[in-house]
Structure 1
Amino acid sequence: MSLLEARRVRKVFGGGLWRRARVVALENFSLVFDEDTPSFTAVVGESGSGKTTLARLLLGLIEPTSGEVRFRGIPLRSLDRAGRRCFLREVQAVFQDPYEAYNPFYKVDHVLELPIRNFGLARDRRTARALIEEALAGVGLRVEETLGRYPHQLSGGQRQRIMVARALLLRPRILIADEPVSMVDASLRATILRSLLDLHRDHGVSVLYITHDLTTAYQVSHDIVVLYRGGVVEAGRVEAVVREPAHPYTRLLVGSIPLPRPDRPWRGERVLGQPAGLLPLGPRFCQFLDRCPFAMPICQQEVPPLFQLGSERAVACFLYRDQPVLSNDDLADLLCKRTATSN
């Protein structure tokens, strides 16, 4: 049984009275979190690929234009009060900018005390204090250096780790981490990512790690989904996708990672060859067409479906049109079953 699932979700912004331009932020996206088997999935892509839109849809902060996000089989918009309360406890988030989660007029203690009070996690102040100290220790923070201070008195890394500690308090079933380490220095990234891994391994929490950093995604996740302009271009087991990328865009991402070798200059996007240039476009076409050196006539006429490459992954590219076609729902179920088998 699925705990949280997105089925054929599409989100379009604009098109109203004052804003006539329409932007498709997410297209036909499906993802499943299993009730019994925790997963650690990374969603990667450059800015504007739809990553944050996906996070907001899964959290119920915005509604899809079409498709559904369901919690235990019930659409989020149809949850009753008890179901909504359960959803808010079991599906937690850590966002890119932790400062936005704080009220500058309250000490940081307030962020940790509020969920304890709202969800009745402790019977008295002593028990609540013990829970807070345990959560802070779990993310590498010392109580005497953290509590009693205002948000502006802490570093960005400390504020971010407090938000992870807050998630630890609630013992959620799913944690959606949207760029959780992009605003902290390199020395703290490992600490925060270790906290996410511990939450997954020790407490059975499914983690959706949203990032533009392919390196950290490779280090911590089991599966990976690559987004480009709102659509899935490649997905599957992280080792297969990163070590042998199949889609030209995934190759671009992997090839754009600078290597620590002074004798091998970084070539950036040139690892793909020359872009395809300006081509006459029909109403439906491959979104990567204008940057792809392998563009073919069919790429100008149709949107590539997902083609299955063995049992490990799928890729949306006509270079693999001799392979079986997968729907986005099929891919979501395939990843969910593969995670259950590997665990």
Structure 2
Amino acid sequence: MLSLHSISKDYRTGAFGGATMTAVRDVSFDVGVGEVVSLIGESGSGKSTIGRMILRLASVTRGKVTFDGADISAYRGPALKEYYRDVQGVFQDPFSCYNPVFRADRVFAMIKEEYFPRVPREEWAEKIEAAVEAVRLNPGEVLGKYPHQLSGGQLQRLLIARALLLDIKLLVADEITSMLDASTRIDVLNLLADLKARGLGVLFITHDLSLGNYVSERTIVLRRGSIVEMGPTNLVFGNPLHPYTIKLLDSVPRLHEKWDVDAERPAEPAWAVEPLVEAEPGHFVAGYAA
């Protein structure tokens, strides 16, 4: 479905744009139908930049992104509009996606104007109610409310409901749980699992390893814009082989242990751009040597 082919992203820096910073370097992976892929990395690793390139919010400097075999960089006008019928994004801060002077469900009206102008009002109302119920919300409790009257979790799920109205194939979920409390977070993750069962592909962008482990079949670990480890989630988490992945896993707090301030912390591993090597079937590690 979605394929990234050695994509890179450069930004001009300096007072006159004379220098170049590479935010994403030679990244390749796929997201299939009904598959959840976690893209994990610390802040500044380039994971959100990858999401923006998939959503055509940022251009690709080198390489290409294809969807159902077609290069999305060639899409313009109606073709790009049709692409957004299949691919949508939900972002970290749900409050920034709503105009506070309008009711929250205005996001549904905008979808109708662009994609379903001929659908009768009664039929559209039924579609909205079905989409809202699909994200585990009560239409009577959320429709007609202003953004400040709803919680972050409710607003986030309304954005997912908006995507469902388009019957999308791929959802780019960029840190969608980072501003939610623990109880609401698990509701959103379980919702993603339900959507996956219906055939929706999800790119789950996060810095939280435990969430990635919970929700995804495959995991990609990003370090300074490059993939350092990639494979089935059970292998990446159960048998981490790259020093950076090992460091990340060692840094995860454990509920059954107290923090020991005197304990030796994992050293920062040396970093260099290295080719991915298949360490075991489907498990790729940068610079791996058996």
TM-score, with length taken from structure 1: 0.79
Does 1:232 find its partner at 2:227?
A: yes
State the alpha-carbon separation in 2 of the partners of residues 94 and 122 from structure 1: 26
SS in 1 for 2:192: helix
Does 1:188 find its partner at 2:184?
A: yes
Q: Which residue of 1 aligns with 2:62?
A: 66
State the alpha-carbon separation in 2 of the partners of residues 12 and 103 from structure 1: 32
- Note closer, same or farther for the CA distance 1:240–1:150 as it changes in structure 2 (3 Å cut): same
Q: Any stretches of 5+ residues in structure 1 without a counterpart?
A: 276-290, 323-343
Q: Show CA shifts across 1:288-312 (max 9, x none).
A: xxx22xx5xxx7xx73211111113
Q: Which residue of 1 aligns with 2:92?
A: 96
Q: CA deviation at 1:80?
A: 4.4
State the alpha-carbon separation in 2 of the partners of residues 128 and 122 from structure 1: 10
Which of the numbers 311, 314, 322 marks the counterpart of 2:281?
Answer: 311
Does 1:40 find its partner at 2:36?
A: yes
Q: Which moved more, 1:88-97 or 1:162-171?
A: 162-171
- Note closer, same or farther for the CA distance 1:54–1:268 as it changes in structure 2 (3 Å cut): farther
Query: What is the count of residue pairs matched by the alignment?
Result: 290
State the alpha-carbon separation in 2 of the partners of residues 248 and 270 from structure 1: 16
- Note closer, same or farther for the CA distance 1:226–1:269 as it changes in structure 2 (3 Å cut): farther
Higher relative contact order (CA 8 A, sep 6+): 2
Q: Which residue of 1 aligns with 2:252?
A: 257
- Which protein shows a greater Rg? 1
Letter in structure 2 aligned against 1:76: I
Letter in structure 2 aligned against 1:100: S
- Note closer, same or farther for the CA distance 1:242–1:189 as it changes in structure 2 (3 Å cut): same
Do the aligned residues in 2 keep the contact of 1:42 with 1:217 (CA within 8 Å)?
Answer: yes
TM-score, with length taken from structure 2: 0.93
State the alpha-carbon separation in 1 of the partners of residues 289 and 167 from structure 2: 44
Q: Show CA shifts across 1:245-272 (max 9, x none).
A: 111111111111111224x545799453
Percent same amino acid at aligned positions? 37
Q: CA deviation at 1:241?
A: 0.6
Which of the numbers 208, 217, 221 marks the counterpart of 2:216?
Answer: 221
Q: Which residue of 2 aligns with 1:4?
A: 2
- Note closer, same or farther for the CA distance 1:167–1:154 as it changes in structure 2 (3 Å cut): same
Do the aligned residues in 2 keep the contact of 1:234 with 1:314 (CA within 8 Å)?
Answer: yes
Do the aligned residues in 1 keep the contact of 2:31 with 2:203 (CA within 8 Å)?
Answer: no
Does 1:135 find its partner at 2:105?
A: no
State the alpha-carbon separation in 2 of the partners of residues 223 and 143 from structure 1: 34
Q: Which moved more, 1:10-19 or 1:20-29?
A: 10-19
